[in-house]
Chain A
Amino acid sequence: MKNRDDRVPLDARGASRRRFLRGAAAAGASALAAGPASALSFDLEAFFQKHFREMSQEDIEALQTRLERKYESRYGKPFNVASTGPIDGVVYGYGLDIGRCIGCRRCVYACVEENNQSRDPEIHWIRVLEFEREHALRGIDLEEGNPYYDHEKVPAEGKFYVPIACQMCEDSPCTDVCPTGATWEEPDGIVVIDYDWCIGCRYCIASCPYGARHFNWGEPQIPADEVNPDTHVLGNRPRPRGVVEKCTFCIQRVRNGRYPACVEACPVGARKFGNLLDPNSEIRYLLANKRTFVLKAELRTQPKFFYFYG
C-alpha cells in the first residue's frame, strides 16, 4: 500500500522520520539479540584473515569464495578468483626489443583491461617513456623520459621508446622495505602483493627505482561491462582503495601457460616472454644471442626484465 507521506517533501515528514527511527532501533535490537557474529560475520572474516602465505588450503578456498561473492554482487556477473600456484622448474623472464618498440601504447591499454586497473583515478602499470635518439649514445637516463608524448603517428622522428613496468627484481628493494610483509617474491620469480595485508604506507613506491608501483588514491572505478572476471588472488582481482598494485606478468595467465596480455597486444612483436630455466625458450635464446641490458644495473636489483636490440 502506498504511503501518504511519500507526497510531502522528505524534510517535512516528521511522522515518517519518527517511524524510521523506531524501525531502525528495532532492527538494531534484533541484530544484537541474534548476536554480533551474524550481523558482522562478513567483516569479521576479512578482519581476521591471515597473511596469504600463512593460509591453509581451506583458508584460501574460503577467501576465493568470499571474494567471488563480493565481486559478483558488485559487478553483476560471475567471477573466477584463482589461486593457481607456481610451476616447478619455471622462473619467468621478459624480453623487450627497444629497437622495435614504436611507442604505440597498445600494451598499456591491453594491460589496463586484462588486469582491472582503475579507469578513474587512472592507473597504468606500463609507462612508455620517449627519449631522444641522439641521447642514446651516452646511455639512458630514465629521468629524461617523457611518458606524456602525444604525436599523431608513432614512432616520431628522432625518438625511441622504452616501456617500463615491474622489473621483477631478484633482489627487490620493495619487498625488503614492506613493514607488513605484504609483498614478496614467489618461487617463479613474480613479485606479488597481498592486497589485504597492504597498509598503504607506500614505502615500496619510494624504494622502487623503476616507478613500477602504483597507489590507489581513490576508490578504483571499473565499468561493470569492462571488468575482467578471470582473476587471481595475488594478481588482477579488483583492488580496494588505499593499496599498492603493480604488474604481475599477468599471473592469472602465465601460470596457466599463456602469454601476458601485453605480449599478445604488441603489434610489432617487440615483447618476448618465457621460462628462464628452459634452455630452449625464446627468452634464453635472446639472452644468449642478443645484446641485452637491464635498467639501472648499477643498483644490483637483478631484474628479470631484459631489454635488447633486435
Chain B
Amino acid sequence: METEAPREPHDDGARIRTTTWFVLGIAAMAVLGLFSVRCELGPNVAREYPSRTLPPEPQPVLMSAPPPDEDYYPCSDCHELEDRNPQPRELEDEHDDLELAHGDLWCLSCHDLADSDSLKLSDETLVGFDESWRLCTQCHGNKLAEWRAGVHGKRTGYWWGPKEYRTCIVCHNPHSPAWKPIEPLPPPRPPQQIAGRVRAEPSEVRHEEP
C-alpha cells in the first residue's frame, strides 16, 4: 500500500508565498488601473464655458492714404506753364531725385498733362489723388481681389470688428513700388552666448578617466 509521501513543509510555504504575491500583484494593478482612470477623468474633462456668440460684424474702416507731398502738391503751381513737354526723358531740372522703377511707365501714364492735379485712368477718366488705388488696380486686378478678401496687404484692428485696411500707396511708393530692404531687429542669443550658462563645445568636453 502506497502511503502519501510526507509533505515537505517548505512546499506549502512556497505555494502560500506565490499566491500571496499573485494576489498582491493583481491588487496593485487594480489600484494603478483605477488611478489611471481617475487621472484620465480628472483634468481632461472638458470645461463648461458659458456660451459666447459673435455680434454682427461692423463695417471695415479704410485707412486713408497719406496726403500728397506738400513740397510738390498742388502740381498746378508749377505745371501751368504753356510749353509742356510730353516726351519721355531723363528728368534733370525738377523731380530728379525721384526714382522711377515701375515697369515701362512714364509720368503721363498716370498723371494728366492738361489737369496736373488729377490722375488719369486708362479710359481718360480723371480721378483725384485720394483715389489712386483705382489707377493701380487697372493693371493689378488680381491684387485688388485679394486685397478685398484681406489676403493682400496689411490689416490691423479686429478679425471680427472694425478692421483697418490700407490703400496701395500707404505701403508702396507708386513710382517705385517694390518693397525696399529694411534693417532687421536683433537675432536671438545663441545658446553659447547665454551669460552664466556657457556651454562647452563638444571638442572641449573632457573625458577624465577615474
Contacts and interface: CB of A to CB of B under 8 A. Distances in A.
Interface of A: 51-55, 85-90, 95, 102-106, 108-109, 121-122, 124, 127, 147-155, 180-182, 184, 187, 197, 217, 254, 257-259, 263-264, 266-269, 272-275, 281-282, 285-286, 289-290, 310
A282 B161 contact: no
14 contacts: A52-B47, A53-B46, A105-B187, A148-B190, A149-B184, A154-B184, A187-B49, A258-B161, A259-B159, A274-B159, A275-B160, A281-B150, A282-B149, A282-B155
A147 B171 CA distance: 27
Nearest to B156: A264
A109 B185 contact: yes
Interface stretch (B3-11, B37-45, B69-77): B37-45
A153 B194 contact: no
B155 A257 contact: no
Interface of B: 39, 42-47, 49-54, 146, 149-161, 163, 171, 179, 181-190, 194, 197
Which 4 pairs of residues, A with B, have the shortest CB-CB distance? Answer: A269-B154, A181-B43, A282-B150, A85-B49
Nearest to A266: B154
B186 A51 contact: no
Nearest to B145: A289
A51 B182 contact: no
A309 B176 CA distance: 23
Nearest to A151: B184
A88 B51 contact: yes
Nearest to A107: B185
A268 to B, nearest CB: 6
Given A105-B184, A121-B194, A267-B182, A272 B150 contact: yes
A181 B44 contact: yes
Contacts of A272: 150-151
Contacts of B49: 85-86, 187
Contacts of B150: 272, 274, 281-282, 285
Nearest to A175: B44
A106 B183 CA distance: 10
A150 B53 contact: no
Contacts of A285: 146, 149-151
Contacts of A259: 155-159, 163
A269 B153 contact: yes
A148 B156 contact: no
Given A86-B52, A89-B54, A102-B182, A148 B188 contact: yes
Contacts, number: 141
Contact of B171 (A182, A269, A289): A269
B184 A150 contact: yes
A124 B188 CA distance: 7
Nearest to B51: A88
B154 A85 contact: no
A257 B42 contact: no
A267 B171 CA distance: 8
Contacts of A273: 159
Nearest to B158: A257
A153 B146 CA distance: 28
Nearest to A57: B50
Contacts of A106: 185
A275 B159 contact: yes
Nearest to A97: B151
Nearest to B44: A181
B159 A258 contact: yes
A275 B161 CA distance: 13
Contacts of A264: 156
Given A187-B46, A267-B171, 13 more contacts: A88-B53, A109-B185, A122-B188, A153-B181, A153-B183, A154-B183, A180-B43, A181-B44, A269-B153, A282-B151, A285-B151, A310-B146, A310-B151
B43 A103 contact: no
Contacts of B146: 285, 289, 310
B154 A103 contact: no
Contacts of B163: 259
